Structure 1
Amino acid sequence: MRELVVLGTVSQVPTRQRNQNGYVLRWDSEGILFDPGEGSQRQMLHAGVSVHDLTRICVTHFHGDHSLGLAGVIQRINLDRVPHPITAHYPASGRPFFDRLRYATAYHETADLREEPVTGDGPLATTPAFTLTAARLSHPVESYGYRLTEPDGRRLLPDRLAAHGVSGPDIGRLQREGALYGVALAEVSEPRPGQSFAFIMDTRLCPAVPVLAAGCDLLVIESTFLDEDARLAADYGHLTAGQAAVVARDAGVRHLVLTHFSQRYSEQPEAFERQARAAGFTGELTVAQDLMRVPVPKRR
């Protein structure tokens, strides 16, 4: 299963319809919690996401709407005695804030929560399934965007396997070894491009934004303001709907998810969609709503 579970979609001030930020990316056996704002633990309950599903936590920066939910989530991880390690990535300069949230109140620690602060651009973790990288954004406090990239692979073709007499356990051996009984893997397969996901929160336009977004299958990006408030967006270190859409258009993004809306617009999803389309983005577009599930697009 590869999908985005949206826990909250508003910026600083929650509304009756929108909780503060929070997103869970389900990627095969991994569950990555991004920017848990206040109320994320309860939103996870409504969304059917358990702390047992989590393997990583990624915090872009330490403003309250992106991190105040950490205290509750971390204590729930310990209360439920999650048996596997969970790794937390966050800007290294925010370590004092992370420590305060982690130990905001007394509780009994039972879980293995491993901290790996982000100290600069580059890879954070590499697994057989993906590489997780970070890039510095432009915001009044230190902030990082995250990108998950799956390595390219090969798709086996049943007709070619049958033509070469490869079947049963020999298929697995051929995949592992690259050749078997004189049959090369390339003869019975075709290239399979890896999938990619990027998460870009509070930032002005800056060089890291198109780098994170390049060629993404699924891009989750803030669009705090509408285009008529571009000056405010620049002053406070944010993007408009049109700016986010231009980034996605130029980067070749397949599915664009707009989120992190200012409460000033109340409920105007159609305005964000209209401005994104006016900016020239023609791919799949979602204006996020709380508790929405967005599948990662099928492979190219």
Structure 2
Amino acid sequence: MRELVILGTASQVPTRHRNHNGYVLRWDNEVILFDPGEGTQRQMLLAGLAVTPLRRICITHFHGDHSLGLPGVLQRISLDQVPHPVKVHYPAAGQEFYDRLRHATSYWDNADIVPAPADGAIFETETSAGRLTALPLWHSLPTYGYRLTEPDTRRMVPALLAEHGIVGPAVGDLQRLGHLGDVTLDQVSVPRPGQTFAFVMDTGLCDNVYALAENADLLVIESTFLDEDADLAAQVGHLTAAQAATVARKSNVRTLVLTHFSQRYPDQSRFLTEARPHFNGDIVLAEDLMRVPIPARKAGVS
């Protein structure tokens, strides 16, 4: 199962139809919660998601619409006695805010919550799904975007295996050793490109926006404003729908998810209208409780 479950799509002010931020990435056994805004625990309930599968939480920055749901989620992890460690990534410069949210109220702290702050020009860590990278963005306080990159592997080709008489357990031996007698792994397999997910919130345009988005199969990116308010967006460190779509085009993104919409625009279809001329790929206008599948893996080539 590889999908993004969207819990909330509003920006600073929620609306009757849009909750504050919250995004759950289900990537095989790696389940990551991004930017748990206020109300995330309830949105997870409505989406049919439990906290038990969560392996890590990634916070881009400590504005309330991206982090005020953290105390409730952590307390629920404790209440449900999640048996494995849960890592929390966040900007190291926001340690004071993390500490406040970690113990915002009294509760039975029965969970293994592991702080893993991001610091410097690049932060990287390995997960069961691949490498998680955090890069600093441009906003009114320290902010990081995230990128999950699955390593490239190889896909076995049954016809080539049969041609070389390799069957049963010998296939596993070949994969493990890289060769079996005179037969090499390359002779019976084709490249299997890894997939990439990128998450970009609350930022003005900067080099790291493009670095995070590069060749992403799925890019989740804020589009708080429309072009009519581009000057305001630049002042406060946000993107317009047109800018987000241009980033996707220049970065060779496959599927673009627009989200984090300002409440000043009652008709969110305008975001899609503005983005479409700038990006010819798949565009998803995010809605609360929507599920977005990770695009099918690119075919291997011989």
Q: Name the TM tier (shorter chain).
A: over 0.9
TM-score (norm 2): 0.97
Structure 2 residue aligned with 1:3:
3
| Secondary structure class of the residue paired with 1:53 | coil
Instruction: Show the 5 A alignment for 1:46-61.
Output: 46-61=46-61
2-structure distance, mates of 1:148, 1:219: 11
Deviation at 1:108, TM superposition (A): 1.0
Shift of 1:110: 1.2
Find the counterpart in structure 1 of residue 214 from structure 2.
214
Alignment of 1:256-267 (within 5 A): 256-266=256-266
- The question of whether the paired residues in 2 share the 8 Å contact of 1:121 and 1:133 is answered with no
TM-score (norm 1): 0.98
Secondary structure of residue in 2 paired with 1:52: coil
Structure 2 residue aligned with 1:96: 96
Name 1:33's counterpart in structure 2: 33
Supply the AA of the counterpart residue of 2:199. F
Paired residues of 1:202 and 1:237 also in contact (CA < 8 A): yes
* CA apart distance, 1:238: 0.2
CA contact (8 A) 1:120 1:134 kept: no
Show the counterpart of 2:223.
Answer: 223
* Amino acid in the other structure paired with 2:56: R
Runs of 5+ consecutive residues of structure 2 not aligned to the other structure: none
**Which residue of 279, 291, 294 maps to 2:292?**
294
Deviation at 1:127, TM superposition (A): 3.6
- Note the C-alpha offset of 1:299: 1.0
Moved more, 210-219 or 171-180: 171-180
Map of 1:1-300 to 2, 5 A cutoff? 1-127=1-127, 129-266=129-266, 268-278=267-277, 280-300=278-298
Q: Is the 8 A contact 2:30 2:127 kept in 1?
A: no
Equivalents in 1 of 2:264, 2:202: separation in Å?
A: 17
Q: CA RMSD in A?
A: 0.9
Distance 1:293 1:128 in 2: 22
How many residues are paired up?
Answer: 298
Cα distance in 1 for partners of 2:208, 2:79 equals 38
SS in 2 for 1:199: strand
1:123 touches 1:131 (CA, 8 Å); kept in 2?
no
1:123 is displaced (CA, Å) by 3.9
- For structure 1, the 5+ residue unaligned runs are none
